[in-house]
């Protein structure tokens, strides 16, 4: 018995010895591998662990970001280390292991971009490296409105060439609609003249009534570029000199369709002539009946509005910068909302030769869309030219109507400014307006033009392309 115990103890000692030697070998190997890995890391410099970017949103809205996350904390990053190809304006923020490249304006849709950061160094020093990421932007949906005599009106989801149009909402009388990344809202009218709003997903699914202040008319339907914010002015049908709501500004949210709309207070006189959402914010620029521009925050509807001075009209707000274009008694100005400073809007050097100027529509990088009408000796329109004016006043034509009988009704630019939409009424004299609350010519065409080349892309039947912040007029 004692002999068997002795032999068993010996076997156990040998097993422990083998295990100990094996463990030591494994640990040594791990140390060697870890050391080699550390040495490799030290010789190679920082590397990318992950990259975050929404390839669709970056082509829809300004201020979107690409974020690099690296395998180690980084030294300070200078914007000069960053390149974007094709070129696009950006800003850079870096902290710890993250480098965020924020694009000032929306990027071109369906385009491959490469973002690189050169000479990236660890916070503890060592060799530098270049981190890079290539991606292809998505293609945001495009919508147009068709008012039809022989069947219900329809909001169509389509593409840049117009050959894949699909109706996402139909109704006997569609007055207006708006689209954002958060969904669609459509304004319709019943036989009484009272307006209704319907909220839905971008493909038209899950339609729900959006609560309105009462039985009345709606004007200026708009959507913010985030948070599903919807804005409009409302007037009671039974308004009188002594009672009722007139041209009051309201906001709602697509995500809470049953909630009562919030009335935005703009001063002693609540009537609003025009308004626009400030991109990337919850604020609105409002032109009131007393001819004053005011900045109001929808997140704080009871807060005192910020006065921006007198104005005759509100033309638009540039994506990315939030600069307001307003018509004042002494000319068109740019208002910087960061410091409320004003500068005159650049005008083409050959302004007089271009003809009678029409509305000013902001695009990106300080450029504006302009429409000029050339008059004949008989006093009637002879032709129209649509072009882009940059911050130095250089005018580049992109579209021309040589038939004076046709008329440009509205111009809009795609989110990145790459394409221009020109809504045209063919043969305006013989193109009668419909009888809607917001009348439009019965025949309208949307011409899509490449702003870089001036080449025609397509012509889509309909109007109110979703690139436009507001409807015609």
pLDDT by position in tens, the chain (length 473): 444 444 554 555 554 554 455 544 444 444 444 444 444 445 679 999 999 999 999 999 999 999 999 999 999 999 999 999 999 999 999 999 999 999 999 999 999 999 999 999 999 999 999 999 999 999 999 999 999 988 999 999 999 888 889 999 999 999 999 999 999 999 999 878 899 999 999 999 999 999 999 999 999 999 998 889 999 999 999 988 888 999 999 999 999 999 999 999 898 888 999 999 999 898 999 999 999 999 999 988 778 899 999 999 999 999 888 899 999 998 999 999 999 999 999 999 888 889 999 999 999 999 999 999 999 888 888 999 999 999 999 999 999 999 878 999 999 999 999 999 999 999 988 999 999 999 999 999 999 999 999 899 999 999 999 999 998 86
Tokens of 331: 């000319």
Are 400 and 355 in contact, with CB atoms under 8 Å apart? no
Length of the chain: 473
Distance, in Å, from the CA atom of 132 to the CA atom of 147, rounded to the nearest integer, reads 48
Please name every residue paired with 297 in a beta bridge, in sequence order, or none if there are none.
283
Distance, in Å, from the CA atom of 373 to the CA atom of 370, rounded to the nearest integer, reads 10
Distance, in Å, from the CA atom of 446 to the CA atom of 234, rounded to the nearest integer, reads 28
The pTM assigned to this predicted structure is: 0.87
Question: Residue 72: which of 32, 131, 118, 31 has the closest Cα?
Answer: 131
Are 445 and 146 in contact, with CB atoms under 8 Å apart? no
């Amino acid at each position: 018995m004692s002999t068997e115990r002795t032999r068993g103890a010996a076997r156990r000692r040998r097993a422990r010895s083998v295990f100990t030697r094996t463990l030591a070998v494994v640990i040594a190997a791990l140390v060697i591998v870890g050391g080699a890995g550390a040495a490799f890391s030290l010789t190679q410099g920082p590397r990318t662990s992950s990259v975050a970017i929404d390839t669709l949103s970056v082509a829809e809205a300004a201020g979107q970001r690409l974020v690099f996350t690296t395998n180690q904390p980084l030294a300070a990053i200078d914007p000069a280390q960053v390149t974007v190809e094709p070129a696009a304006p950006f800003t850079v923020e870096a902290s710890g292991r993250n480098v965020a490249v924020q694009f000032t304006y929306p990027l071109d849709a369906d385009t491959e971009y490469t973002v690189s950061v050169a000479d990236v160094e660890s916070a503890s020093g060592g060799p530098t490296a270049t981190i890079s990421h290539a991606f292809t932007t998505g293609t945001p949906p495009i919508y147009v409105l068709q008012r039809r005599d022989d069947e219900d009106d329809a909001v169509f989801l389509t593409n840049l060439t117009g050959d894949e149009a699909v109706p996402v909402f139909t109704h006997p009388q569609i007055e207006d609609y708006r689209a954002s990344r958060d969904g669609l809202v459509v304004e319709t009218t019943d036989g009484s003249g009272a307006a209704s709003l319907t909220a839905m997903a971008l493909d038209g699914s899950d339609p729900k009534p959006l609560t309105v202040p009462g039985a009345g008319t709606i004007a200026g339907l708009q959507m913010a570029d985030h948070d599903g914010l919807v804005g409009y002015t409302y007037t009671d049908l039974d308004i009188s000199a002594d009672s009722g709501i007139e041209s009051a500004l309201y906001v709602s949210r697509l995500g809470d369709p049953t909630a009562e709309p919030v009335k935005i207070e703009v001063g002693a006189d609540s009537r609003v002539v025009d308004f626009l959402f400030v991109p990337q914010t919850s604020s609105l620029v409002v032109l009131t009946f007393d001819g004053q521009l005011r900045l109001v925050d929808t997140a704080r509807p009871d807060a005192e509005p910020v006065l921006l001075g007198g104005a005759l009209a509100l033309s638009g707000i540039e994506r990315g910068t939030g600069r307001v274009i307003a018509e004042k008694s002494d000319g068109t100005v740019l208002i910087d909302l960061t410091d409320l400073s004003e500068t005159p809007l650049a005008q083409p050097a050959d302004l007089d030769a271009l003809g009678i100027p029409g509305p000013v529509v902001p695009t990106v990088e300080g450029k504006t869309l302009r429409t000029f009408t050339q008059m004949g000796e008989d006093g009637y329109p002879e032709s129209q030219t649509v072009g882009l004016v940059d911050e130095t006043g250089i005018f580049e034509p992109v579209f021309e109507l040589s038939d004076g009988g046709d008329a440009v009704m509205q111009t809009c630019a795609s989110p990145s400014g790459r394409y221009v939409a020109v809504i045209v009424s063919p043969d305006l004299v013989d193109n009668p307006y419909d009888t809607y609350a917001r009348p439009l010519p019965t025949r309208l065409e949307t011409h899509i033009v490449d702003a870089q080349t001036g080449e025609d892309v397509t012509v889509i039947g309909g109007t109110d392309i979703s690139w436009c912040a507001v409807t015609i007029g």
